[in-house]
A and B are shown apart, each in its own frame.
Chain A
Amino acid sequence: MRLYAACVYLFLYIPIGVIALFSFNAGRHASQMQGFSTKWYGKALSNPFVMDALETSLMVAFSSALCASVFGTMAAVALQGIKGPVRTAFDMLIYIAVMIPGIVIGIATLIGLVTVFDQLNPLIATLWPEGFEPPKLRMGMGSLIAAHTMFLMALVVIIVRARLAGMDRALTEASSDLYATPMGTFLQVTLPTIFPAILAGFLLSFTFSFDDFIIAFFVAGSETTLPIYVFSSIRRGVTPEINAIGTMVLAISLLLLITAQLLLQRGAKKTR
């Protein structure tokens, strides 16, 4: 049993370790170690295509994580206040949203947005004043952020809900007993209590959005995110530069995930 488990872990992590190792390769072949060097990191960071893709990825990850955190928190707080079948229905929808494969979300969002854009674009064109180029809705940064927000929101709802459920109801009662309005109670008591969970939700969302390839591939339009760039470069062969990019993405993701985990743990401890 132990051996079996060890094999599973080796199978999972050896490829990742190899990528990290070969990112320090001095030679130009991805399969043959020729001494230690960090030059591929320098090369990756000075490649304008990589930097463009990184910028797009960061923009998308930041915006969608921010939107998901705000809307997700609002939804979680609202759901906490209702009971019965409505709540059950929403709970189910949220769990489904997290479980749906990325490819389904990608295709569904693509089809949905294209259909809507096809309807709206002629309408906008007719409303626009004569002689000016009418703006055209198309796939791009906007659709990327929208698709990611939608799927990440469910994640934030689940994290924040768990925190809210662990919160002592007497705290909000005490606040209203001490003359705070419902809004005052939310800002002064509820929000500070659930803030670690919101921050953790933000960081997790950021990581997921930053790493996402499948959904982005469908809805990115002409935009290139870092995972899309990596995918398209691999078709021209794996270079140590790709390994370096992969290792950097891995390091950043791990850092964010660990931070999120610590926030959740610390938050849980404080309520006790």
Chain B
Amino acid sequence: MKNGGYAEDPNPADDKTIAELRGVTKRFGDVLAASDLNISISEGEFLSFLGPSGCGKTTALRMLAGFEAPTEGEVFLDGALVNSLEPHHRPVNMVFQQYALFPHMTVAQNIGYGLRQRRPRLPKAQIAEKVEKALDVVRLGGFEDRKIWEMSGGQQQRVALARAIINEPKLLLLDEPMAALDRKLRKEMQIELQDLQRQLGITFVLVTHDQEEALSMSDRICIMREGRIVQTGSPQELYDRPTSRYVADFVGTSNFFNGTVTDTSQPLYTVVLDNGLQVQAPPVGKFSDGQEVCISVRPEQMKLHRNGEGQSVHIQNRIFLGEHTEYLVRHETLGDFLVLSPRQSEMNEGPFSVGDMAQVSWEPGTTLILDRK
């Protein structure tokens, strides 16, 4: 960051806390937008708030930016309490959902906007130099004098990105930045964003409802629901060890079967499913005998055989996905669920066609016992 250079700190991952929400609650009139949020953000990390619309993720972001003040609780930035500090005094910058580029300014004027607000004023030549550098970083060299409306959606997003990073903020906030892009462009931008984040060492906080986006880019994900943080962890942790049905459902795809715990004496608890089937599975959290739970089985953990052990099912639908084949199967009492069959197993067992009978089995260790909520 010093000397105006961008690529100076190749290893930003130390554990210094750069921002923190402590018991933060936000009410808009009677509406509870965010409730008791606790999260600390480390310097240099890529954190995502993930959840459906209206879950409070954007409110959390806006409180970090300073557009909203918390009703209760404390917001810290770089060690200082900033609850009521106005946005223009905060060392954070935001990339807005629709980019919010100034339509009456050129690309270069947009990008230099933040630098032009500095007092004492920066020399014009210095601003121009930094603008040029920022344009190079987002690969838009030569577009200085273009009008905003002459740029494509992807280019506009890069301008918005350049306009934010040129200020070398402590925190870069991204509010659904990919929502307006088409699928292919979105993939490209995801990779580019990740590269950029590593290159600059700036802490990124992303808000998204797209689980794929959050999983592929973030160091850590904060899953939100109805104004609360449900679980925070690395993508891997959330996928492998979800603490609730909600998270298991939101991160990746999973099949859920309701049942009741009957034996907790072994490391693998015994659960009797609603159809009477007895299964073993590891618990996430504490459960007692007789508690109503659900077990979660990922489609890729299920195996399909011909004439093997397991539950008999009818193949309902088959979707070829290249490396995998996705089957929708119907069990007499468990209902419909998904099975993802890898290419290798398809070769061995032969592809199943719609209407075929097959057996489904899974390793107990790959499933989870979860709260029904």
- Tell me if B163 and A178 are in contact (CB < 8 A): yes
- Tell me if A177 and B88 are in contact (CB < 8 A): yes
Total residues of chain B contacting the partner, CB 8 A = 24
**Segment of B92-100, B178-186, B293-301 engaged in the interface with chain A:** B92-100
CA distance A174 to B114 in the complex (A): 10
User: How far is the CB of B245 from the nearest CB of chain A, in Å?
Assistant: 36
User: How far is the CB of A270 from the nearest CB of chain B, in Å?
Assistant: 6
- Tell me if B114 and A179 are in contact (CB < 8 A): yes
Give every chain B residue within 8 A of A192 (Cβ-Cβ).
104
CA distance A174 to B118 in the complex (A): 15
Give every chain A residue within 8 A of B89 (Cβ-Cβ).
179
- Tell me if B117 and A174 are in contact (CB < 8 A): no
* A168 contacts chain B at the CB level, 8 A cutoff: yes
Give every chain B residue within 8 A of A174 (Cβ-Cβ).
94, 96, 100-102
- Tell me if A179 and B103 are in contact (CB < 8 A): no
Give every chain B residue within 8 A of A184 (Cβ-Cβ).
88, 117
Which residue from chain B places its CB closest to the CB of A195 in the assembled complex? B104
Task: Give A160-177 as 1s and 0s: 1 = Cβ < 8 Å from B's Cβ atoms.
Answer: 000000001011011111
Give every chain A residue within 8 A of B94 (Cβ-Cβ).
173-174, 177
A189 contact from B67, B87, B98, B102, Cβ within 8 A: B102
Which residue from chain B places its CB closest to the CB of A181 in the assembled complex? B88
- Tell me if B103 and A175 are in contact (CB < 8 A): no
Given contacts A170-B96, A173-B87, A173-B96, contact A178 B103 (CB under 8 A): no
- Tell me if B117 and A179 are in contact (CB < 8 A): yes
User: How far is the CB of A218 from the nearest CB of chain B, in Å?
Assistant: 43
Task: Give A231-272 as 1s and 0s: 1 = Cβ < 8 Å from B's Cβ atoms.
Answer: 000000000000000000000000000000000000000110
* A23 contacts chain B at the CB level, 8 A cutoff: no
- Tell me if B117 and A177 are in contact (CB < 8 A): no
- Tell me if B103 and A271 are in contact (CB < 8 A): yes
- Tell me if B86 and A176 are in contact (CB < 8 A): yes
CA distance A192 to B114 in the complex (A): 17
Task: Give A188-222 as 1s and 0s: 1 = Cβ < 8 Å from B's Cβ atoms.
Answer: 11001100000000000000000000000000000
CA distance A125 to B12 in the complex (A): 78
User: How far is the CB of A96 from the nearest CB of chain B, in Å?
Assistant: 30
Give every chain B residue within 8 A of A70 (Cβ-Cβ).
none
Give every chain A residue within 8 A of B271 (Cβ-Cβ).
none
8 A Cβ contacts from B41-91 to A = 65-67, 86-89
CA distance A179 to B91 in the complex (A): 9
Task: Give B161-201 as 1s and 0s: 1 = Cβ < 8 Å from A's Cβ atoms.
Answer: 00100010000000000000000000000000000000000
Give every chain B residue within 8 A of A177 (Cβ-Cβ).
65-67, 87-88, 92-94
Which residue from chain B places its CB closest to the CB of A185 in the assembled complex? B88
CA distance A181 to B114 in the complex (A): 11
* B113 contacts chain A at the CB level, 8 A cutoff: yes
- Tell me if B87 and A176 are in contact (CB < 8 A): yes
CA distance A174 to B163 in the complex (A): 10
Give every chain B residue within 8 A of A75 (Cβ-Cβ).
none
- Tell me if A179 and B88 are in contact (CB < 8 A): yes
Give every chain B residue within 8 A of A168 (Cβ-Cβ).
98, 100
CA distance A170 to B101 in the complex (A): 9
User: How far is the CB of A165 from the nearest CB of chain B, in Å?
Assistant: 17
B117 contact from A171, A178, A270, Cβ within 8 A: A178
Which residue from chain B places its CB closest to the CB of A174 in the assembled complex? B100
- Tell me if B102 and A176 are in contact (CB < 8 A): no
CA distance A271 to B167 in the complex (A): 26
8 A Cβ contacts from A129-186 to B = 168, 170-171, 173-182, 184
User: How far is the CB of B151 from the nearest CB of chain A, in Å?
Assistant: 15
- Tell me if B118 and A179 are in contact (CB < 8 A): yes
Which residue from chain A places its CB closest to the CB of B173 in the assembled complex? A177
- Tell me if A180 and B98 are in contact (CB < 8 A): no
Give every chain A residue within 8 A of B163 (Cβ-Cβ).
178
User: How far is the CB of A163 from the nearest CB of chain B, in Å?
Assistant: 13
- Tell me if B100 and A173 are in contact (CB < 8 A): yes
CA distance A178 to B163 in the complex (A): 8
CA distance A177 to B102 in the complex (A): 13
Give every chain A residue within 8 A of B65 (Cβ-Cβ).
173, 177
User: How far is the CB of B204 from the nearest CB of chain A, in Å?
Assistant: 15
CA distance A156 to B114 in the complex (A): 32
Give every chain B residue within 8 A of A193 (Cβ-Cβ).
103-104
- Tell me if B67 and A270 are in contact (CB < 8 A): no
CA distance A81 to B113 in the complex (A): 24
Give every chain B residue within 8 A of A189 (Cβ-Cβ).
102
User: How far is the CB of A38 from the nearest CB of chain B, in Å?
Assistant: 44
- Tell me if A178 and B114 are in contact (CB < 8 A): yes
Given contacts A181-B88, A184-B117, contact A170 B93 (CB under 8 A): no
Give every chain A residue within 8 A of B97 (Cβ-Cβ).
170
Which residue from chain A places its CB closest to the CB of B175 in the assembled complex? A170
CA distance A195 to B18 in the complex (A): 41
CA distance A170 to B87 in the complex (A): 13
Give every chain A residue within 8 A of B117 (Cβ-Cβ).
178-181, 184
Give every chain B residue within 8 A of A175 (Cβ-Cβ).
102, 113
CA distance A170 to B89 in the complex (A): 17
Task: Point out which of B101, B114, B163 has the most chain A C-beta atoms below 10 A from its C-beta.
Answer: B114
CA distance A174 to B105 in the complex (A): 14
Q: Known pairs A170-B98, A177-B92, A184-B117. 14 more at Cβ < 8 A? A: A168-B98, A173-B94, A173-B96, A174-B101, A174-B102, A176-B88, A177-B66, A177-B94, A178-B114, A178-B167, A179-B118, A179-B167, A180-B117, A270-B104
Could you jot down 5 A-B contacts, CB within 8 Å?
A171-B102, A173-B94, A175-B113, A177-B92, A179-B88
- Residues on B lying within 8 angstroms of A by beta carbon are 65-67, 86-89, 92-94, 96-98, 100-104, 113-114, 117-118, 163, 167
Closest 7 CB pairs of A and B: A170-B100, A178-B114, A174-B100, A179-B117, A176-B87, A176-B88, A192-B104
